[in-house]
Amino acid sequence: MRTYLVGGAVRDRLLGRAGGDRDWVVVGATPQQMVDLGFRPVGKDFPVFLHPETGEEHALARTERKSGHGYHGFTVYTAPDVTLEDDLVRRDLTVNAMAEDEHGQVIDPHGGQRDLAARVLRHVSPAFAEDPVRILRLARFAARFHDFTVAEETLALMRQMVDDGEVDHLVAERVWQELARGLMEARPSRMFEVLRACGALVRLLPELDRLWGVPQRADYHPEVDTGVHVMMVLDMAARLGASLPVRYACLGHDLGKGTTPADILPRHLGHEGRSARLLHDVNQRLRVPNDCRELADVVAREHGNVHRSLDFGPEAVLRLLERCDAFRKPARFHELLLACECDARGRLGLEDSAYPQRARLAAALSTAQAVDTAAVSAAALAAGHTGPAVGQAITRARLDALTAVATAKQLGP
């Protein structure tokens, strides 16, 4: 029985990156032996165990044989006679198919160190084509290691997988899991660049894929192309350290531009509503979590109004706050403002521009929140008002507070 450190931990050490989770492969052992040594079994598809002290995952060396379509279409074999090399050859990329023994010696049968030095993502063997999730994983790695290229033969194999329909068998939960992880990488646009290059994006997110080649007004969008703009917005969100809901909202905020009638291009009248409707379909199809759904919806509907809000008076500002449900969900409203800043700065030549709308609307919310709604409600009730009239009194009080601040700024030096 021998234990080897494998996969990403080996790769990241060789790259000098901070270590994350460590995974181990155990050769020459049976499940019963692992249990006898105190390991706790947790694997469903194949034998995986948690170390009794460190809690790290230890998987028995295994081979896999394709037995159906999609991610679950495999028959797994584990036994003491499965070698380390048998296990490594079934892995996805050469840079992930390295192991390290107890002496720190790297076992690299497929040239992973060579590809690390050359900054290349390359599949290990033809078995790559048997698991469509690997397309998503490779695209995600491209977003993390954004200075790496994809080997031409690997890209060709991915295109063949798409043509063979393997991508169509991916389950929604796994697609979302990989997309979400890729969105949180350093250069998320690279993930979508790779998915487009192999033809997978049009199968998985046709609403996004159709944005490339759609023109926008150059005076607002010097980059012109809508797909290019959305990728710039996404990378700006990564640059500003945005959360997953913000990044997902950035991804979907302009989907409606892909359905703009050709006769009105490069204008996109009403694209906000169309974006929200298309996002609803994407959310349902990929089973997107509620926090991402809700923020993406409000960003799609209101980003144009947030951009124009410097020209809004107190009444319009208050209506915007109310439409965005800012009083009940102030944290989400601040995420909306960040997504809108990413949208404004995700344009050619405007990456370092100021976005005063964010500070102005954040201050407006603070001003309106400072109104003592309990006291206003009590006064309205004491005056004999009930129901909607109480809510109207709160609205008037908030509007008075916003108006007072606006007036003071106009009269100030």
Q: What is the pLDDT of residue 73?
A: 52
Query: What is the average per-residue pLDDT within 137-146?
Result: 96
Q: Is the pLDDT of residue 55 over 60?
A: yes
Q: Which of 54, 92, 301, 63 is nearest to 178 (CA)?
A: 92
Whole-model pTM? Answer: 0.90
pLDDT 10s digits, 201-249:
999 999 999 999 999 999 999 999 999 999 999 999 999 999 999 999 9
Region 184-191 average pLDDT: 97
Rounded CA separation 359/399 (Å): 18
Name the β-bridge partners of 25: 4, 59
Confidence of residue 188 (pLDDT cuts 50, 70, 90): very high
3-state helix vs strand vs coil in the chain, percent to 5? 55, 10, 35
Confidence of residue 82 (pLDDT cuts 50, 70, 90): confident
| Average pLDDT estimate for 4-18 | 90
pLDDT of residue 321: 98
Looking at residue 47, its pLDDT comes to 85
Question: What is the rounded distance in angstroms from the CA atom of residue 287 to the CA atom of residue 276?
Answer: 16
pLDDT at 261: 95
pLDDT on residue 63: 81
With beta carbons less than 8 A apart as the criterion, state whether 230 and 180 touch: no
More confident residue, 407 or 370: 370
Q: What is the pLDDT confidence band of residue 45, given thresholds at 50, 70 and 90?
A: low
Describe the crossing of helices 189-198 and 172-183 by its angle, rounded to 10 degrees: 130
pLDDT given at position 267: 95
- How would you classify residue 270: left for phi > 0, otherwise alpha for psi between -120 and 50, otherwise beta? left
Task: Give the pLDDT confidence score for residue 154 in this predicted structure.
Answer: 98
Residue 74 has pLDDT above 60, yes or no: no
How much is the pLDDT for 61?
87
What is the C-alpha to C-alpha distance for residues 307 and 297, in angstroms, rounded to an integer?
16
Average pLDDT on 365-382 reads 94
pLDDT score of 134: 95
pLDDT at position 95 over 90 = yes
| Position 409 confidence tier, pLDDT thresholds 50, 70, 90 | confident
Query: Mean of the per-residue pLDDT values for the chain?
Result: 93
